Amino acid sequence: EGHCRHFSGGEKARLALAIIVWQRPNMLLLDEPTNHLDLEMCHALTTALQEFEGAVIVVSHDRHLLRNTVDELLLVDQGRVDAFDGSLDDYRLWLLARNKDAGTRPQGSVAAEAPVDKKKARQDAAAKRAQLAPLRKEIQKLDKRMQQLQDQLAKLEETLADSELYSDANKDTLKTLLAEQASLRSENDDVEERWLGLQEEMEVLEAEMDGA
């Protein structure tokens, strides 16, 4: 317990999942299991749930996890639990319509269940969505690069704020820094445009798979 006291949220989540695996339960009840997990751990958890032969009940806002691990949605709303005959996108539309009518935020949530005999269905659904994996990987890579570029630009702008740079003695240095700034901004614009394009492509693919 003393060692765990200083663990980060992600490390505690990994430990909890390891204990669950070691206990070999017949049913898993998971509440936001991907919180604090990095991309690799989220993928590992998704794969593990696809292979799990027992019952799985998941409460999560992680649409990627739900799309790849469950085949039945339950709607929890106003003290009732009912089967939800639709997809995650259908739930979003239902939620928007309800908010528009009621003018308030919903108190319910969506839970998802994967019965014992649905292992093959989960694996088939995952295989159909396997083509999304390269898109997600590239989006993650571009997102990381954009953060790096923004950090570099922020540091460069701090340097450019030094009034000494604008003296005649430092004009060559200033010219070099301004050129570097322009190059970083141009690359950031290109990366952001690519990122937006891949996001739209992924959303189209997800919509097509939900409608299949």
- Predicted confidence at residue 101, as pLDDT, reads 66
Higher pLDDT pick, 125 / 23: 23
pLDDT in tens, 98-149: 766 655 444 555 555 555 456 776 776 676 677 788 888 888 898 889 889 9
pTM score of the predicted model? 0.42
Contact 71, 123 (CB under 8 A): no
- Report how far apart, in Å, the C-alpha atoms of 125 and of each of 18, 46, 52, 118, 136 are: 25, 12, 15, 11, 17
- Residue 77 phi, psi (nearest 5): -155, 130
Pairing of strands 27-31, 55-59: parallel
What's domain 132-211's architecture? Orthogonal Bundle (1.10)
- Predicted confidence at residue 3, as pLDDT, reads 59
Candidates 120, 95, 97, 127; CA nearest to 108 is 95
The residues, any chain, with a CB within 8 Å of residue 46's CB and separated by 6 or more, are: 64, 65, 68, 69, 126
CATH superfamily of 4-128: P-loop containing nucleotide triphosphate hydrolases (3.40.50.300)
- Predicted confidence at residue 170, as pLDDT, reads 87
**Domain residue ranges in the chain:** 4-128, 132-211
- Predicted confidence at residue 211, as pLDDT, reads 55
- Predicted confidence at residue 13, as pLDDT, reads 66
pLDDT in tens, 164-177: 888 888 889 988 99
- Predicted confidence at residue 62, as pLDDT, reads 76
